[in-house]
Copies of this chain bind each other. A is one copy, B any other.
Amino acid sequence: MIKKFIFGTPFETEAITGGGEIPAVRLEENPGGIPYFSAAVKEDGVTLTRLMDEGERIYGLGENIRGINKRGWIYESDCTDDPIHTEGRRELYAAHNFFLTEGRERFGVFVDAPQKVTFDLGYGDRDQMKVTVSAGGFALYLLEGDSMRQIVREFRRAIGRSYIPPKWAFGYGQSRWGYECEADIREVVRRHREEGVPLDSVYLDIDYMERYKDFTVDQEKFPDFPGFVREMRQQKIHLVPIIDAGVKIEEGYPVYEKGVENGYFCKKEDGREFVCGVWPGRVHLPDVLNEKARAWFGQNYKILLDQGIDGFWNDMNEPALFYGEDYLEEVFEKLADYGRQELDIKSFFGMKNLVLGVANRKEDYQSFYHESRDGRVRHDQVHNLYGYHMTRAAGEAFDSIKPDQRILLFSRASYVGMHRYGGVWTGDNSSWWSHLLMNLQMMAGLNMCGFLYTGADLGGFGADATEDLLLRWLELGIFTPLMRNHSAKGTRRQEFYQFGHPEDFRNILGLRYGFLPYLYSEFVKAAMTDDMMFLPLSFVYPEDEAAAEVEDQMMVGESMMIAPVYRQNARGRYVYLPEEMKLYRFRSLTSADQELLGAGHHYVKAELSEVLIFVRPDHIVPMSEGGCSVEDIDASRLNLLHFVRTEGTYELYDDDGYRKDVDLESGLTVITVKADGTVSVSGAGRPECRLR
């Protein structure tokens, strides 16, 4: 059951696809009319307040720090490029304004507001929930249902089907900010292929471009880019270039010139284009909220599609501002003043903060405008939609340019609604053990908000990775749909071959390709049925009090639970089983222990290169025999992990991995295992199945 409330004149975010059909209550006319909350309207926004039950738990909010249970912190939806994701942060790159709560009452809330929204979930007062929407109109949706999972499904149905990438995008990708040229990439591919470590893609960070200009390729580094793309495809490697939001101001650069000519860039109040600094230096921001500008920006992706590219990542689209040009001039004037006076400690910090404060400045976001369908709107009022609509630009363009082919697409900034056009990666994390755990914890929240194709920079983007951190992180990463090892310039390199034990990486990454049939099947089924692929234990075992406490395990699809190790030097971990399960302890695709574990708490050993899989009763996990790329996987031979007491049935979805119009029914193969070990197969495929 969805109820809609509106306040003021909400900006149409197009997050809810069938929103017009839901009857709405106007908050101004009926301020006491929102169930569960009391509303207070002030000049600077509307606040909804509510006392929480002592044991009440809160889920959702997509890409955010802290645990699966979001209670006890304050979160801000205010897309921000700041790479230090400590526990004190309130905002990351995304605005995923959907959460669910379960105490004596159970309901979901979606705040459809593109401006800043604050979720104080027991921070200011440990017993109180306080949602504040800053000034401007908004729509609010309340959702009820028989279970948390059902409320999620209802929400997901309302926001439309999640993006499905091509199947190759479930393979392993290697990335680093710092790969400059053909030789760098060939080296990456060669080392993986030589050591038999699987690889499906190499990512191109900003250095592939000519002076960081979108949709260009540096001719010196890549003299024959289409040829190089072909060469890589012959090695079963997809190249995935980055696209940044800002368009470099440079005479003779067609994207810049076309944009100016047509007025497609964001403008200041005086009608001149807003200028800010990002990687290319001075840039304009494409007005992706202007439908025509969005269509134009999207068509530029064709330049790279025509050269054989079939995947992209959209970056810097919060949008990140290293500085706004007008303000930077002010800063230099003030710095000159500081230089002329004798500094005391106050003026010293004044100077320091002046320089530190030029990035992502609130006043800069208030100084430019979009030409939306509903007229001119100041950026800060719709800030959280920018990344969404940049990615939508690409997604809509792909639909017209490649109507039959899935193109890989994911973004750094996002808002609910963008999940229909692409996935997200979780931004510039760090090589910290705590971020390995955060990666796991975020998966469930992201799924709730529609983002199924997602994952973190494995091994960590910032800071220096260690071999054990990368191994442990990959042991989680082999289950996340987006599985990419990415790191920043200036940090320790973290391709597997930088470390001393290639066999460990070969074994762990090999497992990904073994699980691929299951992961792809679970992903597509979740997308097509508006369900989650990563579920907190409490979503599957709602009556189990102990399961609700678990913050470091996750259900992955219908058959299995994972419990990665996320502590340095640990050689095992505690695991809670809500019911009896079968533990498979994998050392490689061909080597695993099995053990039955009863319901309850266990300490389970897991050496550095061991991966723990827990199979639920009467469930099956089909595995392939692996391969060094997704296209090498032999779908006709499956090994079945199984824990069958009476009978287990698994519906395996598969397809060619490219077709855009996914038909779930026609792709299903039904595999049944009986207690006596007999296996039967029916449906789309006829794989040869072996019990494992």
Contact = CB atoms under 8 A, between A and B. Distances in A.
Contact of A343 (B212, B328, B432, B467): B328
Interface string A328-346: 1000110110110001110
A332 B323 contact: no
Contact of A277 (B278, B348, B602): B348
B348 A67 contact: no
A468 B355 contact: no
A568 interface: yes
A279 B72 contact: no
What's the number of copies of this chain in the assembled complex?
A: 2
Nearest to A212: B345
Contacts of A687: none
Contacts of A351: 355
A66 B344 CA distance: 37
Contacts of A567: 67, 551
Given A280-B345, A335-B339, A467 B126 contact: yes
A358 B349 CA distance: 12
A218 interface: no
Given A434-B87, A464-B88, A323 B338 contact: no
Interface stretch (A569-577, A625-633, A662-670): A569-577
Interface string A119-130: 000110111000
A551 B570 CA distance: 9
Contacts of A338: 332
A127 B500 contact: yes
Interface residues of A, number: 68
Interface in A101-127: 122-123, 125-127
A396 B425 CA distance: 57
Given A67-B569, A352-B355, A466-B123, A278 B434 contact: no
A22 interface: no
A280 B348 CA distance: 11
Interface string A350-362: 0110011010000
B348 A568 contact: no
Given A322-B348, A345-B322, A549 B568 contact: no
Nearest to A463: B88
Contact of A499 (B73, B84, B126, B430): B126
A69 interface: yes
A601 interface: yes
Q: Which of A463, A499, A549, A572 has the most CB of B within 10 A?
A: A549
Contact of A67 (B332, B549, B568): B568
Contacts of A551: 567, 569-570
Interface in A557-590: 567-572, 574, 576
Q: Lowest 9 A-B CB distances belong to which pairs?
A: A88-B463, A332-B339, A87-B432, A355-B355, A601-B603, A574-B574, A281-B344, A281-B345, A72-B568
